[in-house]
Structure 1
């Protein structure tokens, strides 16, 4: 007998989930489903992300709700748009063999009119993010008087994101006699307070130990000097050819800088942070889910609710401030019973934080060595050999071209051919790692040193201004560019390497970017007759050129030269609309321009 049937789930649902690959209940499902099926108790379930919580609360709802009625009977609140959509999709899949089940996903960043239309047509299950749900409640567009069950999924994350007041206001619209089911990965005081306020003698179940991580995750750390962090990170990535990871940074700026550096260095990477529009965020996530991206660089807030299968590694480029955030980060890998690796790049002063995290999650970290240059080269070479060995050959399509290929290669021995094919991808690694130093350190070797001081300076050096010319372009974030998109646009248009591009400063309707002095003319020539969405792209030297590229001041392509003169003229006035002196940035002529957003839009 199917184990889900033994738990009390009806045949139609079991048949649907069996097609999705459900063979036996996960621990949280096995514990929670029998209790929730009674419909008599409030419930608190503690389990890590990726352990099957959606099915744990979703499957019992099919037994408890009356699908002949078309009013909301269950409300599921979750922290992010991605998780909201994921839960709604999963419930619809579970219900494919049941008639009249209506589910609506309510979240910000999408057309509210479409969501209101779905609600008016009639729904039984509403899956929502707190902000958009409160908006719809305030419009008097939904009636929760018949809601029997409220699910708070990822409750700790919702509270971390500041939704406490929204949750209170939403729950106040639901009946007193409803049952509340709370699911969370950790149990901080704020979550405990919600349980005390809205629940009566809840049944509490824990899978694992509170606040601990997934048992299938391997926790490693690398002890390095702060100034070597990026170089060490690249070595780890290069020595793990099949990595499909999420890289966590502490700030939006760090996230963007790391992503840009990786793109310049030829990696499939992009950033996910709070400054992205919903459309940009969706585009990045689609590329990541499609595995067009190998590395997703993210902040803690931006990554909440991400549910992507088969993430092999979580990389803590910077350790989080809160231990709970480490648990959430590492929970992005080893989902659905699979294994994964959570690794952290730390300097000597952060060792105490590693020890603290070990105590909280109840698992030891293993110290790993950053691979030596020769080890990286060997791993990379073997990866190339494996690709050649495992490539699928379509004899029918390749046979017509074989005579020509063999003719070109007839003077080469088998060994020469192998060397040349391997060298196509391998030469750049040999060159890069030829004189690679040892990046590993021991705690006793650097006592008294201050490794962390070099961290910010190291990033400045990678994207510094010496030897670069600062340019202006009349495209910006309103044109749906992220900084990664802009880097790709510049490189594709001008045919110059990403390594020749320095800092990219993306504004609303324009962008500043730095280019190596030797490549400036290529940029001008590349953008000579370029249109973007019917608008001519204009590139010119920024008004703060100084000695760098100063001889090119005023040179531009596209647009009206008079507008350039207007900006340069205003550049002499360092006042802003707020009366503040902004000379420290050195580009006051354009900062004044950014304050006049509406006029800028009209001109571009």
Structure 2
């Protein structure tokens, strides 16, 4: 007998989920479904992302509702539009063989008129993000008087995003007799408070230990210098030829910069963050679900609700500000009982944060070494061999050309043919990683090491002059943007700029000695936001300041948008040193052509 039938789910729903590949219930489904099918209790379910929570509440909902009545009977609240759409799609799939089931997804960034039209036609299940739901309630466009069930999915994340007041206002519009089902990956005090305020003696179920991570996830970290982060990141990606991953950054700007640097370096990557329109987000997610993207670079908020199968790696390019968010990030992999790897790129100062996360998830991190260039080449070589071995051969099509191919290769032995085919790809990696430096650090970096690395440097590198500019991070510059700003006004190449040490209200940067005069000339009459831009040689009196606007003031579009710039990504090729940090915006507004990956 089908195990879902044994839980009490009827045949037409079981038939639908069997088509979707459901074979046996996940632990949260096995525990939650029998309780929720009674419809008599409030409920709190604690389980990690990717454990099947949507089916855990979705299947009982379909059992409980009367689909002959076209009024909202269930409301599902979730933090993001991606998750909202995913839940609505899943419920429709679960209800494939049930007549007259109407589900509407209500979320911001889409045409509200279309959503209102669907509501007016009659729906039984509303899946919504809090902000758009409040908007519709404010228009008196929905009647919740018949709502029997309210589901709060990813409750901890909704509270992290500041939706507590919105949730309170929405719940006040629903009947007192309703049942509330709350699902969360973690149980902070704010989530506990919702349970106390809106539930009566809820049944509480926990899959695993509270706040712990998925047992099928391997947690690794790489300790590197900050300046080597991008180079180390690319090397790790290259070490896993079949990687299909999500890369998490802390900010929208960093997300866009890393994505653009990867694209420039020839990787199949794109970004997902809050500044994208819904159409842009949908396009990116479609490419990722279809595996036309190998790497999705995302912020924590934008990645909520990403339900993509077979994600092999989650990479924390930057650790999250809230350590509990690490659980949500890593939960993007190892879904549906599969295994996955969560990677964190850290510097020495972040080691304490790793230890704190270990306590939260109840698992130890394993320190890994950034692969050497030869190791990456070996991995890539055998990936090529596997691809050749497993490639599908279209006999009918290739047989036409086979005689000519054999004739062209007749002077080569079997071994020589194999060498040449393998070298078509392998040579690129050999050239790229030739003389590649060791990017690992021993974890015992001293003050002298940091000064040698440049983080506390007060003198210039050989052949460079260290300059001061009176703009910094408080002026909303990133290092990449500062590089673009300097190059655009000085009319010099980015290769002429050395280390950029971005501070709060000022920045130190290095310029090749022969280009210093161009910098002073370029900034003679430059203003930024109404104040003169001043350039000085660090520790000396010479300076250049401005009195009129000569193109130095950054346009508002440059400040507000982190899309559309150029990225001078990592250098590649024989004998060149890997370079981290992504690159810079092209302040001329022109986009240069992308370089090949190697």
Matches within 5 A, 1:52-67: 52-67=52-67
1:306–1:588 CA distance, 2 compared to 1 (3 A): farther
* CA contact 2:255–2:272 (8 Å) conserved in 1: yes
Deviation sequence 1:397-417 (CA, Å, 0-9, x none): 112222332333333333332
Rounded Cα–Cα distance in structure 2 between residues aligned with 1:133 and 1:301: 18
Report which stretch shifted further, 257-266 or 170-179: 257-266
Residues in 2 aligned to 1:505 and 1:143: alpha-carbon distance in whole angstroms: 55
Residue 33 (str. 1) matches residue 39 (str. 2)? no
**Counterpart residue number, 1:410:** 410
Equivalent residues of 2:224, 2:347 under 8 A apart: yes
Q: Does the residue aligned with 2:400 lie in a helix, a strand or coil?
A: helix
Question: Does the 8 A contact of 1:380 with 1:426 survive in 2?
Answer: yes
For the 8 Å contact 2:31–2:205, the answer to whether it is kept is yes
Matched, 1:393 2:393: yes
SS class of match (1:260): helix
Partner of 1:486: none
Partner of 1:530: none
Residue 328 (1) aligns with residue 323 (2): no
Whole-Å separation in 2 of the counterparts to 1:271 and 1:153 = 25
TM-score by length of 1: 0.78
Query: Which residue number corresponds to residue 445 of structure 2?
Result: 446
C-alpha distance after superposition, 1:444-499 (max 9, x if no partner): x42445659969999xxxxxx99xxxxxxxxxxxxxxxxxxxxxxxxxxxxxxxxx
What is residue 113 of structure 1 aligned with on the other side? 113
Q: Give the distance between the partners of 1:309 and 1:548, measured in 2 at CA.
A: 53
Give the aligned partner of residue 541 of structure 1.
none
Aligned residue in 2 for 1:356: 356
1:206-217 paired onto structure 2 within 5 Å: 206-217=206-217
1:542 maps to what in 2? none
What displacement does 1:157 show?
A: 0.9
Matched, 1:581 2:531: yes
Question: CA separation in 2, counterparts of 1:397 and 1:504?
Answer: 54
Equivalent position SS for 1:100: coil
Q: Is the 8 A contact 1:47 1:183 kept in 2?
A: yes
In structure 2, do the counterparts of structure 1 residues 427 and 173 end up closer, same or farther at CA, with 3 Å as the change threshold? same
Aligned counterparts of 1:196 and 1:47: Cα–Cα separation in 2: 19
- Residue 339 of structure 1 is matched in structure 2 by 339
* Unaligned stretches of 5+ residues in structure 2: 458-463, 466-479, 496-514, 536-545, 559-588, 590-598
Deviation of residue 104 (structure 1)?
0.7
| 2:4 match | 4
CA distance in 2, matches of 1:418, 1:550: 57
Q: Go from structure 1 to structure 2 and tell me whether the alpha carbon gap of 1:137 and 1:456 turns closer, same or farther (over 3 Å shift).
A: farther
Conserved? CA contact 1:226–1:452, under 8 Å: no
Relative distance call for 1:66 and 1:449 in structure 2 (3 A) is farther
Offset, 1:220: 0.9
Measure, in 2, the Cα distance between the counterparts of 1:62 and 1:295.
36
- Matched residue, 2:501: none
- Cα deviation per residue 1:387-429 (whole Å; 9 max; x = unaligned)? 1111111121112222332333333333332222222212121
Q: How does 1:427-506 map to 2 (within 5 A)?
A: 427-443=427-443, 445-448=444-447, 451=450
- CA positional deviation for 1:584: 6.9
- Between the two proteins, the alignment pairs up a number of residues equal to 508
Please give the alpha-carbon distance, in whole angstroms, between the structure 1 residues aligned to 2:194 and 2:452.
42
Q: 2 CA distance for matches of 1:418 and 1:346?
A: 40
Tell me if 1:139 matches 2:139.
yes
The aligned counterpart of 1:476 is none
What corresponds to 1:527 in structure 2? Answer: none
Decide whether aligned partners of structure 1 residues 62 and 414 sit closer, same or farther in structure 2, where only a CA change above 3 A counts: same
Describe the SS at the equivalent of 2:344: strand
- Deviation (angstroms), 1:193: 1.1
C-alpha spacing 1:516/1:323, structure 2 compared with 1 (3 Å): same
Structure 2 equivalent of residue 382 of structure 1: 382
Supply the distance in 2 between the matched residues of 1:505 and 1:355 (Cα, whole angstroms): 35
Aligned to 1:224: 224
Q: Is the 8 A contact 2:221 2:344 kept in 1?
A: yes
Residues 546 and 134 of structure 1: CA distance in aligned 2, closer, same or farther (over 3 Å): farther
Aligned to 1:561: none
Cα displacement string for residues 489-534 of structure 1 (whole angstroms, at most 9, x for unaligned residues): xxxxxxxxxxxxx879999xxxx89999699xxxxxxxxxxxxxxx
Q: Following TM superposition, by how much is the alpha carbon of 1:251 offset from its aligned partner in structure 2, in angstroms?
A: 1.8
Tell me if the contact between 2:144 and 2:174 (Cα under 8 Å) persists in the aligned partners.
Answer: yes
- After superposition, the Cα gap between the structure-2 partners of 1:595 and 1:329, relative to the gap in structure 1 and judged at 3 Å, is closer
1:128-157 Cα offsets, whole Å, 9 max, x none, are 111111111111100011111100000111
Contact 1:150 1:179 in 2 (8 A): yes
What SS is found at the alignment partner of 1:85?
helix
Is the CA contact 2:50–2:332 (under 8 Å) kept in the aligned structure 1? yes
- Cα distance change of structure 1 residues 98 and 452 upon mapping to structure 2, 3 Å threshold: farther
Give the whole-Å Cα distance in 1 for the aligned partners of 2:490 and 2:18. Answer: 55
**Corresponding residue number in structure 1 for 2:46:** 46
Asked if structure 1 preserves the Cα contact closer than 8 Å seen for 2:76 and 2:128, the reply is yes
Q: Is the 8 A contact 2:41 2:203 kept in 1?
A: yes
What is the aligned partner in structure 2 of residue 129 from structure 1?
129
Q: CA RMSD in A?
A: 3.3
State yes or no: 1:425 paired with 2:375: no
- Greater RCO (Cα-Cα under 8 Å, separation 6 or more): 2
Following TM superposition, by how much is the alpha carbon of 1:102 offset from its aligned partner in structure 2, in angstroms?
A: 0.9
Structure 2 counterpart of 1:99: 99
Specify the SS of the correspondent of 2:324.
helix
Q: Distance in 1 between matches of 2:557 and 2:92?
A: 48
| Cα distance in 1, alignment partners of residues 105 and 320 from structure 2 | 31
What residue is the counterpart of 1:73 in the other structure? Answer: 73
TM-score (norm. length: structure 2): 0.78
Matches within 5 A, 1:267-286: 267-286=267-286
Paired with 1:161 and 1:371, the residues of 2 have a C-alpha distance of 37
- Deviation per CA, 1:200-258: give whole Å up to 9, x if none: 11111100111100011011111222222222211111111000011111122222222
Taking the aligned partners of 2:346 and 2:432, their CA distance within structure 1 comes to 24
- 1:259 aligns with 259
Alpha-carbon shift at residue 572 of structure 1 (Å): 6.8
CA shift at 1:198, angstroms? 0.9
Q: What is the DSSP-based 3-state SS (H/G/I as helix, E as strand, rest coil) of the residue aligned with 1:182?
A: strand
Give the secondary structure class of the aligned counterpart of 1:323: coil
CA–CA distance in 2 between the matches of 1:232 and 1:254? 16
- Of the structure 1 ranges 164-173 and 278-287, higher mean CA displacement relative to structure 2 is found in 278-287
